[in-house]
Structure 1
């Protein structure tokens, strides 16, 4: 199965979302539907109930910290029952830097929960905050069965290697394949640490499952060309080791 490791299904246009969901199983495509708030998670669980190709993640997006939607207590009450966590993390871009300390506090508590319960797959946002994200991960991560995925990673090669040493995966989206820095990183990430993502509707606007399949296939071909190996089977294997399907 080809897998989209970071997609905001609940933020897509309703018509596009409905048609995409209905044809997922036929196309043999899987999606990790990441959320932005705990309340959104509860809605998504009901919305996608019984659809085996969609895994719903419990999220608390760093850009929403301080917005009134950042219900950390609800998140902490739900996290034990959730295998998939995301989108969580830190965002120190200029629009959100004023909440830096609060973001750190929330992210720290989220990772503490993940480490406490274990058996989590966690999709992490780290825009302009890679140093702090890796520092907290390094501080809290233990030798358990959690899987940490760095979504749309924009850190340095040194930071990438640090993350690899901690066992992290990297989910790659189409926009990363259009920048020099993104290509430079992708060329150096070990094949067994790469996952695909669309980050729809932010990185790309999805109109259909056929379009989704084409995007994931085109990314597979481009990454194969960059690494000078056919990476398709490795990508399928990577996803199969992480997602339950």
Structure 2
């Protein structure tokens, strides 16, 4: 059946009840991208979701773990031919992770190069304090010749947002972003046909509880307000964006 909601960049295996989350996705008809933070987690996530109609798994190598796990890039590259979705990958120059930045760039460059060479990939990309660097890597990799990229939890500037749009990026929006006037302004300039919704669960909380799949309805409602749309129309638009994204690869 056709999905009702879009739930990108979910850390399924970090929920205490990950089996229940998968069941919720199927029951609520939520098209979900379950990202992983290390390639070692990919096979297990694929097993957990093998019977799901609505959950797909991304092969990931999270930048915050690169200092300890750079050597796992070989395992990532071994699995990549079997993965259509890639994530969570990217760069993070936050204070806790800046010391591994050179290693992060090495890994990210290899991921982009291999993805571009193989083609037909959809990437969910982390870009904390590194938007310009991430966009430069995307430009140099020529990823968009045959693949697509979603900027997860985008926190760049207006000019960086416009540059990302020109490149062809999509943007996944979550509830936490909508609490910031700066981010609401950014969302207002993102093209409507490049918007997706996410939760980054279980890291974002609502009233002290990790967000669950159907909680994306609040994000859809806020996107509708920002873009002066009816919530139902905003929901349909986001679903159509997902269809277009998937059809392009």
Give the C-alpha shift of residue 212 in structure 1: 2.9
Separation of aligned partners in 1, 2:163 and 2:105: 20
1:11 pairs with 2, 8, 14, which one?
A: 14
Q: CA RMSD in A?
A: 1.8
**Alpha carbons 2:12, 2:21 under 8 Å: kept:** no
Output one character per residue of 1:43-93: Cα deviation in whole Å (capped at 9) or x when no partner: 111121121211000000000002147500000111111100000000000
4+ residue runs over 6 A deviation: 205-209
Separation of aligned partners in 2, 1:195 and 1:63: 24
Aligned to 1:136: 137
Aligned to 2:30: 29
Give the C-alpha shift of residue 221 in structure 1: 1.1
Aligned to 2:241: 238
TM-score normalised to the size of structure 1? 0.93
Cα 1:120/1:65, change in 2 over 3 Å:
same
**Alpha carbons 2:115, 2:143 under 8 Å: kept:** no
Output one character per residue of 1:136-194: Cα deviation in whole Å (capped at 9) or x when no partner: 11111255231100000000010001011011000001000000111010011011000
Cα 1:208/1:51, change in 2 over 3 Å:
farther
Cα 1:68/1:114, change in 2 over 3 Å:
closer
Give the C-alpha shift of residue 241 in structure 1: 2.2
Cα 1:41/1:224, change in 2 over 3 Å:
same
Give the C-alpha shift of residue 204 in structure 1: 2.9
**Alpha carbons 1:84, 1:121 under 8 Å: kept:** yes
Instruction: Give the alignment of 1:67-216 within 5 angstroms.
Output: 67-68=68-69, 71-204=72-205, 211-213=212-214, 215-216=215-216
Structure 2 gaps, min length 5: none
TM-score normalised to the size of structure 2? 0.91
Cα 1:200/1:66, change in 2 over 3 Å:
same
Cα 1:207/1:70, change in 2 over 3 Å:
farther
